[in-house]
A and B are shown apart, each in its own frame.
Chain A
Amino acid sequence: DAKTTQPNSMESNEEEPVHLPCNHSTISGTDYIHWYRQLPSQGPEYVIHGLTSNVNNRMASLAIAEDRKSSTLILHRATLRDAAVYYCILRGFDEKAAGNKLTFGGGTRVLVKP
């Protein structure tokens, strides 16, 4: 699986935007960029995903660089409930496996200060 690189942690103030970077320089043309987050003592939760174009949904926005070697997850107004570990994951076809796996990397721990 192509690897991603994320900062270990980030801090933000409540109601301010949060920009979470992710580097994926070895991304292949068919890899989708997925973001999941995991709140304390919970299972991971889908946030957003994209292939080439920027994407928006009710939770966040995903900005994808033109060369696709990096992306940024944007939380427009952080709340205390957004404190979680955010995982940037590349999902593409794995020839060794029978399909497309979702392999988690290190993630970024987001702390939101009131």
Chain B
Amino acid sequence: DAMVIQNPRYQVTQFGKPVTLSCSQTLNHNVMYWYQQKSSQAPKLLFHYYDKDFNNEADTPDNFQSRRPNTSFCFLDIRSPGLGDAAMYLCATSRDRGANEKLFFGSGTQLSVL
């Protein structure tokens, strides 16, 4: 019954080695978000897609990129992971971008950088 699915649940990569995290949704929602959550901190928005329109947060490092090939899938690419990029990465969706719209989150991918 999972509606926002993130794979894998745990990902280990090496310092500087590109890594891709994936997210899929069965809700047919227009908006998909990527959040980064470091240990004991609140989730921080990295960027979001409204349909095919990409919206980057001003303080998101260039090292982070995203792709949304179709409505159902969205990918987070980290081009050269550093030790500081170890975190939980959360994907979320919403039907639209209105202020009264709910977000639906996946269970997250825990990324370790060795």
Contact = CB atoms under 8 A, between A and B. Distances in A.
Size bin of chain A's contact surface:
20 to 34
A104 B103 CA distance: 12
A105 B97 contact: no
Interface in B41-57: 42-45, 48, 50, 53, 55, 57
Interface in A55-114: 87, 91-93, 96-107
Contacts, number: 62
Contacts of A34: 102
A104 B88 CA distance: 15
A31 B99 CA distance: 7
Contacts of A104: 35, 42-44
B55 A98 contact: yes
Contacts of A26: none
Contact of A107 (B42, B45, B55, B97): B42
A100 B98 contact: yes
Specify which of A31, A43, A92, A106 lies most central, judged by the most chain B CB atoms within 10 Å of its CB.
A43
Contacts of A44: 43, 90, 92, 103, 105
Interface of A is mostly: loop
Nearest to B42: A104
Contacts of B50: 98-99
Interface of B: 4, 31, 33, 35, 42-45, 48, 50, 53, 55, 57-58, 90, 92, 97-108
